[in-house]
Structure 1
Amino acid sequence: MKHLDPPTFNVTQAIEVCASGITDPDRAQWLLDALPVVQASEAEYRELGPTGQLFEIVGSDAVTPQISATLMGEIYKRHFVRKGSPSRALYEQIRMAPEFGLCPLCAQRIVATVDHYLPQTRHPKLNLIPINLVPACSDCNKRKLAGVATRAEDQTLHPYFDNLGNERWLVIDIQATSPPTISFIVRPAAAWSDVLAARVQHHFRVMGLSELYAAQAASEMADISYSLDEVGASSGPTGIRQHLDVQFRSRYARDANSWKTALYEGLRDSVWFCTDGYRLIRTHLS
């Protein structure tokens, strides 16, 4: 759920560098001969990406008569990505782009791979197009699989094109249980279109972010439970609220829509939590 600047190189550079590392002269030449086809595909991608219309790109089973989908997959794995190849540095540039190495699709786990936003099995012409290559953690990569949307609302978010802005949109619901139960909810920002709102909800479901963030929130509350007990004993609900507000403002300054920002805002604004709920965190810890 993080916006990234797109790679600084284009598909022409990617193919030329990749071809330079292919020892089979026929395969290298076939790849270079495919340049006009993939350049046209890149131009279409750049046109449709900013408007959220990538689902309109028609799949194919080959790049050229010489390069099938299977062969293009081999070129990607055995040449473009291979350690020690001339193009490996381009792959690493994409993989290492996110701040702190965090996956832009979940903003939580560490990047482990590079994902084809439109899957390579159905879109071999896009296999080496840099703006179709997105850094991702293993879990997000597996959850996304090779699904292809047939309408705009069913597309997951694209880090290079989708920017959700800084308006607060991730919030929590607190249930008065022992320990407190936290649920994360997408509250569409006013600036979003209906389609973008549907896409964020879809992305949230596909990537399992509500469950992921809820688990992290439970751990976070366990970590702060002792300090909350101390603040509550000395300053009561007002002290609890002030303490949580400091935590919220610190997280908000870093990221307006992190799960921690949403958690501390929701805890701060809950009268029940600040009065009684914080005491119930430790019921399952003792």
Structure 2
Amino acid sequence: MKYVAPPTIDHRDHYEACVRQTRNRDIRDMLLGMTDRVVSAGETYRAAARAGRLHTVEKMPATTHEARCLSKVYDRRMAAREGSGRAVYDEIKASIARCPYCGDGEVYELDHFLPQRAFPDLNVLPINLVPICHPCNHIKLQRKPNGANRTFLHPYFDRLPQDIRWLFAELKSLGNGPVLTYRVELDESQHGAIAHRLSYHFYELQLGRRFKEASATILVELEAILDEHLGQFDAAQMAAHYNDLGLRSLRLHGNRLETAAYFAAAENADYCSGNYRN
């Protein structure tokens, strides 16, 4: 759920560099002969992505043989260590350290935003390749957009507001200690379709469950802050301190797990009074 500057790699040059490594001359010539069609498909993709209409993109018309040969280009020429497109793979993968789909996991591989199997013509399109963590990629798999509001947020084309809160947490005290649960909220009347897509993205990638599991270290930090100030601050002062930490984190880092957790602590009067157990 984080914007990333899109790759500026030229699609035509990259595609041709990949297919020129094809050993079979007939297949290589066929793939090179398809260059204008493939590049045109990439331009259609870019226009649709900018308009928030990637759910309308259709696979480029191709024969079964053409589609089969296209589908092999990514695995053999980009993902393969010795492939002629591997440098581009590594460049895109290294463009951000944390997965832009969840904002938390470590980047592990590249994802085809429009899936590889369904869109072989877009397999090596740089703006269709997004750095991703393994859990997000494992859940997303080969899913295609299913309507304007049932499309994952695209890290290169969708910008969520960073100056307002849309990631929220609730801090509860259960029998075995405090627990953080997360949700997203964005006003549809102000932000339109992206508000729907944020909810879809959060639910489909199981981010509520995953964020809850990832919050253990954040809870340790919250309690360390509480321990440091207990005896100096009353509950209202402690809440104000957590709120200040949340505002600072929002200003510096945006809607991160820690940001939402600070606000959640500030909103729990019982927690701010020191009634916690871990």
TM-score, L = length of structure 2: 0.90
Partner residue, 1:11: 11
Kindly provide the amino acid, as one letter, of the partner of residue 266 in structure 1: A
SS in 2 for 1:97: coil
SS in 1 for 2:117: coil
Deviation at 1:49, TM superposition (A): 0.6
Deviation at 1:164, TM superposition (A): 0.5
Match of 2:109 among 106, 110, 113: 113
Partner residue, 1:134: 130
Give the distance between the partners of 1:148 and 1:183, measured in 2 at CA: 28
Give the distance between the partners of 1:230 and 1:76, measured in 2 at CA: 53
Match of 1:168 among 165, 169, 176: 165
> Are the counterparts in 2 of residues 251 and 261 from structure 1 also a CA contact under 8 Å?
yes
Match of 1:146 among 134, 142, 146: 142
Pairing 1:65-214 to 2, within 5 Å after superposition = 66-68=65-67, 70-98=68-96, 101-166=97-162, 167-178=164-175, 179-189=177-187, 191-193=190-192, 195-214=193-212
Partner residue, 1:36: 36
Partner residue, 2:26: 26
Kindly provide the amino acid, as one letter, of the partner of residue 263 in structure 1: A
Per-residue CA deviation, residues 17-39 of structure 1 (Å, 9 max, x unaligned), is: 11233333223222211112111
Deviation at 1:65, TM superposition (A): 6.0
Per-residue CA deviation, residues 34-60 of structure 1 (Å, 9 max, x unaligned), is: 112111211211111112111111236
Partner residue, 1:59: 59
Q: Structure 1: where are the runs of 5+ without partners? A: none
> Are the counterparts in 1 of residues 73 and 123 from structure 2 also a CA contact under 8 Å?
no
> Are the counterparts in 2 of residues 56 and 150 from structure 1 also a CA contact under 8 Å?
no
Percent identity of the aligned residues?
Answer: 27
SS in 1 for 2:155: coil
> Are the counterparts in 2 of residues 34 and 64 from structure 1 also a CA contact under 8 Å?
no
Kindly provide the amino acid, as one letter, of the partner of residue 106 in structure 2: I
Give the distance between the partners of 1:163 and 1:185, measured in 2 at CA: 18
Give the distance between the partners of 1:111 and 1:149, measured in 2 at CA: 22
SS in 2 for 1:182: strand
* Aligned-residue RMSD, C-alpha: 2.1
Partner residue, 2:234: 236
SS in 2 for 1:281: coil
Deviation at 1:281, TM superposition (A): 3.5
Partner residue, 1:263: 261
SS in 1 for 2:215: helix
Give the distance between the partners of 1:217 and 1:236, measured in 2 at CA: 25
> Are the counterparts in 2 of residues 19 and 31 from structure 1 also a CA contact under 8 Å?
yes
Give the distance between the partners of 1:51 and 1:65, measured in 2 at CA: 30
SS in 2 for 1:181: strand
Give the distance between the partners of 1:232 and 1:108, measured in 2 at CA: 30
Deviation at 1:132, TM superposition (A): 1.0
Per-residue CA deviation, residues 127-179 of structure 1 (Å, 9 max, x unaligned), is: 11111111111111111111222311110110111000212111122335342
> Are the counterparts in 2 of residues 15 and 35 from structure 1 also a CA contact under 8 Å?
yes
Give the distance between the partners of 2:236 and 2:146, measured in 1 at CA: 51
Give the distance between the partners of 1:199 and 1:111, measured in 2 at CA: 22
Classify 1:216/1:279 alpha carbon distance in 2 versus 1 (closer, same or farther; 3 Å). Answer: farther
Per-residue CA deviation, residues 205-264 of structure 1 (Å, 9 max, x unaligned), is: 111111122222233113442441341133332442344244324422322211111110
Classify 1:6/1:226 alpha carbon distance in 2 versus 1 (closer, same or farther; 3 Å). Answer: closer
Q: Structure 2: where are the runs of 5+ without partners? A: none
Give the distance between the partners of 1:81 and 1:63, measured in 2 at CA: 23
Deviation at 1:75, TM superposition (A): 1.6
Name the count of aligned residue pairs.
275
TM-score, L = length of structure 1: 0.88
Q: Which is helix-richer, 1 or 2?
A: 1
